[in-house]
Amino acid sequence: MPVITYRDALNQALREEMRRDPRVFLMGEEVGVYQGAYKVSRGLMQEFGERRVIDTPITEEGFTGVGVGAAMVGLRPVIEIMTWNFSILAIDQIVNGAAKMLYMSGGQVKIPIVIRGPGGAAHQLGAQHSQSLESWYSHVPGLKVAAAATPYDAKGLLKSAIRDDDPVIFVEGETLYGSKGEVPEEEYLVPLGVADLKRRGNDVTILAWSKMVNVALAAAETLANENVSCEVIDLRTLRPLDERAIADSVRRTNRCVVVEEGWPYAGVGAELADVIQREAFDDLDAPIERVTGADVPMPYAKNLEHLAMPAADRVVQAVRRVMYLD
């Protein structure tokens, strides 16, 4: 099976879906001539032309709104936000436009739009450019939210997102673009709303998504040396949530640690903790632990940034706490 980067997996997904359906088009800053700020759209303008790969001014609210309008009249736009930090400018179009249109039109107007781009911190980009905002969008009824951790999932999920008739918030990982993984040549889809077991284990369930899956897997590897068997579940979709996979796993392991890059307060991890206490209360042997980003604007200083991010050693500590090993 070919091994390709996460970036190229996304590129394949876009290319295949644009070939498959002429209503699909890509719009955003630098997606065309420059071939994408992160080179996700490499070669697409050459293949599909300027009418389907559209460079925009630096106007997030404007071009997101154009996307919502295009979706209303039957096209299937893919809007690239250079990073999710900039989506704050477009949030009115996303939350008040895309998310509510189906409801407010009495089911008459679907919004099959995908809004995608990288989320989370990279390296020393400062407080305004290092945010994980997926919990904001997960909060909104009418939106679906996906966040892939591997090239395989990135491609399969993006294809499903483009084919979905509802607005999908597609959060990529800025530091994942160069990561590599196996991606089959034949076509496949990864359905929205289905979590994936990334590592099987018996003692504790670690829930993660996007690049935190790698943090969880690293922690699991360390803990395996201490004879602690961790199950790592990659949620892949934050809304709709695969509650069943979560509950089934925790019922088996009796313990859970949630790893989340974003801030703790009202984060996705809080929702997960709620699901678990409801669905698996009698099977819990310990309170659910959360490992999150620090509850501060991301520091610019390298050492502080490092401390503010969830890391494998903190996951290891959390697992040790729920296992009562300390």
Partner 1 sequence: MASRVVMPKLSDTMEEGRILRWLKQEGDRVETGQALAEVETDKATVEMEAYTNGTLRRVFAPQGQTVKVGSLIAAIGAPDEDISAIVAEAGQSHVGSGLQAGTPGSVAAPGPSPTPAPSPTPAVQAPRPAVARPARAAATPPARQAPSLAPRQREGGRSYRASPLAARMAAEAGVDLTGIDGSGPRGRIVKRDIEAAIAGGGQQPAARAEAAERAPVVRVAVGRQGAPEYEDVELSQMRRTIAKRLVQSKAPVPHFYLTIDVAMDRAWEAYRALREEKGTITINDIVIKAVASALRHHPEMNASFAGDRVRRYNRVHIGVAVAVDEGLITPVIRDADLKTLEEISVESKTLAKQARARRLQPHEYTGATFSVSNLGMMGIDEFAAVINPPEAAVLAVGAVRQVPVVENGTIKIGYRMKATLSIDHRVADGAMGARFLQTLKRLLENPLLMA
CB of 252 to partner 1, least distance (A): 11
> Active-site residue 123, yes or no?
no
Chain-centroid distance, C-alpha 276: 21
DSSP assigned state of 81 = P
Return the number of the residue (287 or 297) whose C-beta is nearest partner 1. Answer: 287
Nearest C-alpha neighbor of 222 from the set 150, 306, 292, 313: 313
- CA distances (Å), origin 39, targets 80, 172, 178, 272, 284: 12, 13, 10, 34, 45
- Applying CB under 8 A, does 285 fall inside the site for partner 1? yes
174 to 213: interface string for partner 1, x by CB under 8 A: ----------------------------------------
Return the number of the residue (205 or 254) whose C-beta is nearest partner 1. Answer: 254
CB of 286 to partner 1, least distance (A): 6
Which stretch in 16-24, 34-42, 185-193, 283-291 sits in contact with partner 1 by CB under 8 A? 283-291
Give the Cα separation of 216 and 249 in Å (integer).
Answer: 15
- Applying CB under 8 A, does 284 fall inside the site for partner 1? yes
State which amino acid sits at residue 19. R
Cα torsion 285, 287, 290, 296 to 10°: value is: -170
Which stretch in 120-128, 164-172, 220-228, 275-283 sits in contact with partner 1 by CB under 8 A? 275-283
Which stretch in 22-30, 150-158, 230-238, 278-286 sits in contact with partner 1 by CB under 8 A? 278-286
Candidate residues 283, 294, 299, 320; the one interacting with partner 1 per rule CB under 8 A: 283
Give the Cα separation of 72 and 89 in Å (integer).
Answer: 21
User: Residue 105: which residues within 8 A CB-CB, separation 6 or more?
Assistant: none
Q: Which residue is it, tokens 């590129």?
A: 11
Structure token pair of residue 39: 């080179």
- Applying CB under 8 A, does 254 fall inside the site for partner 1? yes
> Active-site residue 29, yes or no?
no
CB of 231 to partner 1, least distance (A): 16
State which amino acid sits at residue 5. T
- Applying CB under 8 A, does 227 fall inside the site for partner 1? no
- Applying CB under 8 A, does 16 fall inside the site for partner 1? no
Structure token pair of residue 115: 């809004």
CB of 251 to partner 1, least distance (A): 10
Which stretch in 15-23, 161-169, 231-239, 284-292 sits in contact with partner 1 by CB under 8 A? 284-292
Strands (E), the chain: 3-5, 24-28, 53-55, 76-80, 114-119, 144-147, 168-173, 180-182, 196-199, 204-208, 230-234, 237-239, 256-260, 289-292
Which stretch in 103-111, 224-232, 260-268, 281-289 sits in contact with partner 1 by CB under 8 A? 281-289
- Applying CB under 8 A, does 279 fall inside the site for partner 1? no
Would you call 193 helix, strand, or coil by DSSP? coil
CB of 27 to partner 1, least distance (A): 50
With CB under 8 A as the rule, give the number of residues binding partner 1.
8
**Parallel/antiparallel/unpaired status of strands 230-234 and 204-208:** parallel
CB of 202 to partner 1, least distance (A): 12
Q: What positions carry a catalytic annotation?
A: 60, 129
Using CB under 8 A, list all residues that contact partner 1.
254, 281-286, 324
